[in-house]
């Protein structure tokens, strides 16, 4: 019996040694060569793994940059500071980027918009899409206010005020998580330096909007007619701003009868 135990022990040892040698040789033979710059780039990325760059995480982004398949300034969270460091590693010129921030195109809070009924179900923006009217608010385009965007934001840059989500542009990193989380698709990216923004997403006709919301765009076109730079157009009863043309003169906000446009 002792001989059997010794034999089994020796056999296991030999098998283990063989497997170890085999794995060692295989590891060397089939090793994947990595670009040394990939690790350097990864060290500079913030490590949030938010996916705002379009890749699965910071490691995937670093690999893409190192292989030349992604721009050196492709990390929205890191911004120009990280972009400059990555550009230096890659030996290319620094590329300036336009800082973006999320913006919720809705100002219809609980006091300014009407409700069709009292809702007491699950406080989830996605789930409420399956109830009558897509939610209790009379405006089917408005913010539901249950905070799916708040839960998605890793940076604490968005919160709900009186039934409407509001973005803190100073904290926003433009990762896009809130945009993906919003079932109404009323959150969009705007330039951080944008002076004027349209706080509405409704495409209902004016008479309908006027019955249900005090601050909804009625598509009257007054803003478009008065803009000296041709920066505003009205399509499907909704105004939108071309930020490249807008100078922030504020005339559109001044003339808007519903005060849908806000300028700073």
Residue 98 has pLDDT above 70, yes or no: yes
Compare 259 and 3 and report the one with higher pLDDT.
259
CB-side neighbour CA atoms (13 Å) of 83: 18
Q: Alpha-carbon torsion 165, 253, 134, 173, what sign?
A: negative
* Residues 102-156 pLDDT 10s: 999 999 999 999 999 998 888 999 998 888 888 899 999 999 999 999 999 999 9
Using 50, 70 and 90 to split pLDDT, how confident is the model at 94?
Answer: confident
- pLDDT at position 44 over 70: yes
Q: Is the predicted pLDDT of residue 52 greater than 80, yes or no?
A: yes
Cα–Cα dist 140/208, whole Å? 11
> 194-264: which CATH topology?
Alpha-Beta Plaits (3.30.70)
- Nearest 5°: CA angle at 77, between 250 and 40? 145
Neighbours of 20 (CB within 10 A): 10
The CATH classification number of 36-90 equals 1.10.15.40
Task: Report the pLDDT averaged over residues 210-233.
Answer: 96
235, 201 contact by CB (below 8 A): no
Break the chain into its structural domains and give their ranges.
Answer: 36-90, 98-193, 194-264
Q: How confident is the model at residue 157 (pLDDT cuts 50, 70, 90)?
A: very high
- The pLDDT, as a whole number, for residue 12 is 73
Indicate the fold that domain 98-193 takes in CATH: Alpha-Beta Plaits (3.30.70)
Q: How far is Cα 180 from Cα 148, in angstroms, rounded to an integer? A: 10
* Within this chain, domains 36-90 and 194-264 share the same CATH topology: no
């Amino acid at each position: 019996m002792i001989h059997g135990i010794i034999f089994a022990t020796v056999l296991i040892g030999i098998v283990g040694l063989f497997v170890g040698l085999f794995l060692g040789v295989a590891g060397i033979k089939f090793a994947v060569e990595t670009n040394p710059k990939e690790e350097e780039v990864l060290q500079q990325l913030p490590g949030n793994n938010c996916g705002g760059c379009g890749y699965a995480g910071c490691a995937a982004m670093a690999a893409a940059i190192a292989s030349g398949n992604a721009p050196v300034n492709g990390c929205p969270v890191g911004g120009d500071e990280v972009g400059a460091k990555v550009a230096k590693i890659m030996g290319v010129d620094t590329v300036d980027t336009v800082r973006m921030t999320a913006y919720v195109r809705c100002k219809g809070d609980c006091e300014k918009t009407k409700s069709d009924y009292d809702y007491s179900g699950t406080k989830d923006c996605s789930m409420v899409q399956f109830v009558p009217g897509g939610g209790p608010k009379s405006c089917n385009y408005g913010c539901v206010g249950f905070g799916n965007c708040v839960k998605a934001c890793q940076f604490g840059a968005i919160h709900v005020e009186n039934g409407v989500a509001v973005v803190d542009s100073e904290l926003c990193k433009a990762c896009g998580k809130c945009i993906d989380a919003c079932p109404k698709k009323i959150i969009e990216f705007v330039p951080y330096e944008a002076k004027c923004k349209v706080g509405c997403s409704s495409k209902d006709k004016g008479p309908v909007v006027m019955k249900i919301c005090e601050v909804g765009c009625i598509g009257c076109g007054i803003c478009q007619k008065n803009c000296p730079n041709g920066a505003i157009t009205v399509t499907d009863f909704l105004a939108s701003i071309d930020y490249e043309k807008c100078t922030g003169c504020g005339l559109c906000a001044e003339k808007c009868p519903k005060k849908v446009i806000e300028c700073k």
